Structure 1
Amino acid sequence: MSYLPSKDKKESYVRELFNNISKGYDRTNRMMSLGRDEKWRRTVVKRARVKPGQHVLDVCCGTAKLSMQLAMAVGSQGKVTGLDFSEKMIEIGLENIVDHPQRGQIELMQGNAMDLPFEDEQFDAVTVAWGLRNVPELEVALREMIRVLKPGGKLVSLDMSKPTAPVFKQAYWVYFEKIVPIMGQVGAGKSDAYRYFYESAKHFPDAPKLTQLFAENGLRDARYTNLMGGTLAIVEGRK
């Protein structure tokens, strides 16, 4: 049975999926990443070269975990706009930022990554964590993020990739296919959702291919950094 929806149904499918797992999403992420997800988000902030006073867009912001890291970097004079099309994820995000020291600098809103509701060249940096894999049209979303990015600003993505080391890569895909859905059932009560994550990761471009897409869509200095043995990667480029 395939858990990967057709392109024309992907938007509604993914939105419903994230609405259903929103309450347990952060807990399951911690389990899946072995507690390293916060460190990876901090690396995204560093790679985006976020500075105090800047305005940063966090696309597919989910429960605002990366948005909160970005808010610490922009400081009291800056702003972070987090956008996600799952209203339930935004609700959890609003709960998460209540006690955050820079909560006044964070705005969360519902919106579509493929049709961003912003003017051209509005943001100093754009980030997206575990989001590009879930959009129906990857290059449409990329072009939208580039459109709203100021010249000189960086687009930085954190997402799954594909390990290449023999034995390790086979073990990884077995883990992702068999163990991760069990974690999804324990953490979020939705094993089927995490079977979708496995299939979407299998079909998502690996880091070299995604880096190539960044360059082909006009970003300079496109590069990638593998994490966790190449199971995921940070891909970046400058407008």
Structure 2
Amino acid sequence: MSQATERATMPKGTHAVLEHRTVFNANQNLLSVVKPGNHVLDVGCGSGGITAGIALLVGSTGGVTGIDTSEHLIELAKENHQSVNNIHFERADISQYVPEKRFDVVSAARVLQWVANPGEILIQMIALSEPGGYVSILDYNHKKIQWSPGIPASMQRFYKAFLQWREDAGMDNETADHLAAMFEEAGLKNIMVADYSEITNSTDKDFATHINIWAIVAATRGKQLVSDGYISEEEREDAEKDYQLWAATTAQSMAMYLLAVSGQK
């Protein structure tokens, strides 16, 4: 197991970040790519919220397969969406995945940021798509996140350590801004780039849910940073506590820079 693969493994509890995500609020780029009757592969499907939305888009004449390396997330996905007839979940690694047939659309949302070989993963996604089919990737540039007003010093230290922890494992903290060039190099055509940055303001009804994502990261991923020696447990606790207080009393907005890039085989 590579260091990136080991660090990307989602600790139990991290899936709370995924629970509010759907294709309609967190993967809207697929609305212009996926058509009724399509067969779609959702790479890194997590607990299946976005995958279930894709199943609605393709309708009864299409189908969607969700794969993830996490056994507990796949089990959650199966449990959460067992009533959906045109959906299939299985534990699989995209690098070694051999389906019975290729797909009209191969999608990965917020996945390539967690691998050390994004170019190789893109090539595999292309190989699993039909001629004329689409590959669509949605991902962040973590270096362009903006908080207003500024976050507490303890969370600043945590976030800096988080980015270094990722970088040291070979992960690209600026994935979003490198996707278009990767698509061109891989030979995809009709490349489309769209900004889907996640912006939340204190006037939004779901502001608390969105702004607290970094408290969840500190509570879950933070344990990994402590274990790997990037921060102390005291620093992790301070970051989580101080950020929660900031989010509840001071925070006005957060913008997470997110791009969607799609291309045709």
**Common fold, TM-score beyond 0.5?**
yes
Deviations 1:71-118 (A, max 9, x none): 00111121100000011111221222135xxx1111000111222222
**Contact 2:143 2:173 survives alignment (8 Å):** no
Match of 1:115 in 2: 96
Instruction: Report how far residue 163 of structure 1 moved.
Output: 7.2
Quick one: structure 1 residues 156 and 74, their matched pair in 2 at CA, closer, same or farther if it must change by over 3 Å? Answer: same
- Which of 151, 155, 160 is the aligned partner of 2:140? 160
Which structure: larger Rg?
2
Read off the aligned partner of 2:103 and give its amino acid letter: F
- Which of 11, 14, 21 is the aligned partner of 2:8? 14
- The question of 1:213 aligning with 2:182 is answered yes
- Which of 53, 56, 60 is the aligned partner of 2:40? 56
Deviations 1:152-205 (A, max 9, x none): 1111111112576xxxx5547x65996699xxxxxxxxx99xx74796499333
Match of 2:241 in 1: none
Quick one: structure 1 residues 22 and 205, their matched pair in 2 at CA, closer, same or farther if it must change by over 3 Å? Answer: closer
Tell me the secondary structure at the aligned position of residue 104 of structure 1.
Answer: coil
Instruction: Report how far residue 22 of structure 1 moved.
Output: 4.8
- The question of 1:75 aligning with 2:59 is answered yes
Match of 1:131 in 2: 111
Match of 2:209 in 1: none
Tell me the secondary structure at the aligned position of residue 96 of structure 2.
Answer: coil
Quick one: structure 1 residues 198 and 47, their matched pair in 2 at CA, closer, same or farther if it must change by over 3 Å? Answer: farther
CA distance in 2, matches of 1:204, 1:105: 35
Tell me the secondary structure at the aligned position of residue 46 of structure 2.
Answer: coil
Deviations 1:28-55 (A, max 9, x none): xx4xxxx8984232x132132x122221
Instruction: Report how far residue 8 of structure 1 moved.
Output: 2.6
CA distance in 2, matches of 1:138, 1:150: 20
Quick one: structure 1 residues 178 and 69, their matched pair in 2 at CA, closer, same or farther if it must change by over 3 Å? Answer: farther
- The question of 1:232 aligning with 2:261 is answered no
Read off the aligned partner of 1:45 and give its amino acid letter: L
Deviations 1:105-159 (A, max 9, x none): 110001112222225x710001111111112311111111000101111111111
CA distance in 2, matches of 1:8, 1:74: 35
CA distance in 2, matches of 1:177, 1:115: 42
Tell me the secondary structure at the aligned position of residue 126 of structure 2.
Answer: helix
**Contact 1:158 1:232 survives alignment (8 Å):** yes
Tell me the secondary structure at the aligned position of residue 44 of structure 1.
Answer: helix
TM, length-normalised to structure 1: 0.72
**Contact 1:212 1:222 survives alignment (8 Å):** no
CA distance in 1, matches of 2:106, 2:75: 22
Match of 1:40 in 2: 26
- Paired residues in the alignment total 204
Richer in helix (by share): 1
CA distance in 1, matches of 2:164, 2:53: 27
Match of 2:212 in 1: none
Quick one: structure 1 residues 110 and 176, their matched pair in 2 at CA, closer, same or farther if it must change by over 3 Å? Answer: farther
**Contact 1:123 1:149 survives alignment (8 Å):** yes
Unaligned runs of 5+ in 2: 198-254
